[in-house]
Amino acid sequence: MNPEEYLKQKKGRIDKALALYLQAENSPVFEAMRYAVLNGGKRFRPLLLLASGQNFGAAEELLLPYACSIELIHNYSLIHDDLPLMDNDDFRRGRPSCHKQFGPTLALLAGNGLLSMAFEILAGASTPASNHQVKERIIEDIAAASGPRGLIAGQWLDMSFKPDNPQLADLQEIALKKTAPLIKVSASSGARLGGASLAEVEALEKFGTFLGLAFQLRDDIADFNQDRGSFRRSSLPNMARWLGPTASVQYLKDLLDKAADSLKEYNIKSEIFGFFINQLDIGLK
């Protein structure tokens, strides 16, 4: 099975698992949660966790709850990002954002519900028979990635950004906190569940960090190309706007090279990891 077919199959299993978790009730909060999650997302983070875990021999059944939890956290952050008091975006993935469909109060509660459910799933997740302590470490890592020193810190930096005289380091810090942590913890959690060595986990953390930065830059390039005429968008943090078109593409390639080198350093070979890297480079070669 080639990487594209593998990821398509795994995405289907992730989508099915997410639907099962979210069918628990038919309340308005659950309806809004389902609307936000079950709408064709890329599933980049849970797919990365599955690929990482299976690369080190973990079973899919063991990995799926952890993968789904991270996807729920990611979608909670999107709901909150779109709210009027934050980015105030009316659309998400080609249809009205959660607050436009259900109102800001229910959207806020749906986001909170997804975050809470993620940790409920993690608490009940299985652990490898050889290492019962690994779940505690993974929950700690995911909490840190999504908390006030990770994703939430990045959201605040994003919201408080002043476009007058930004420096590349400021824009990188936003990405390192808002986008990279969940991608990093996806890569490392799968490796931990697969019984990877400490050195291999650290390599996956480096890989995930560079991949996360590249992921954000790839989005910034797309946003910059699409929104050059928008005054509102021009005031938002965007590395591609600061670097310019040519330097942005070169920086993206440098980040992807560093991601690949992080794996080579510890002789970690995976067609799937290579596919993730190549996907971010598509259209920029």
- Give me the CATH number covering residue 93: 1.10.600.10
- Band of the pLDDT at 165, cuts 50, 70, 90? confident
pLDDT band, very low/low/confident/very high, at 234 (cuts 50, 70, 90) = low
Tell me which residue of 244, 263, 255, 243 sits closest to 280, measured CA to CA. Answer: 255
Residue 273 near residue 207 (C-beta atoms within 8 A): yes
Mean pLDDT computed over 239-266: 93
pLDDT tens digits along 185-232: 999 999 999 999 999 999 999 999 999 999 999 999 988 887 655 555
Q: Structure tokens of 76? A: 């909670």
pLDDT at 40 > cutoff 90: no
Task: State how many domains the chain has.
Answer: 1
Residues 57-69: tens digit of each pLDDT: 999 999 999 999 9
pLDDT of 267 > 70? The answer is yes
Cβ-contact 97, 89 below 8 angstroms: yes
- Give the pLDDT of residue 78: 96
**Per-residue pLDDT for 161 more than 70?**
yes
Taking the C-alpha atoms of residue 17 and residue 233, their distance in angstroms, rounded to an integer, is: 36
Mean pLDDT of 106-132: 95
Hunting for tokens 């099962």 — which residue is that? Answer: 20
Contacts of 37 (CB under 8 A, 6+ apart): 18, 22, 71, 72, 75, 114
Structural domain harbouring 232? 3-281
- Prediction pTM value: 0.94
* pLDDT at 285 (0 to 100): 42
Confidence of residue 43 (pLDDT cuts 50, 70, 90): very high
CA distance 62 to 66: 8
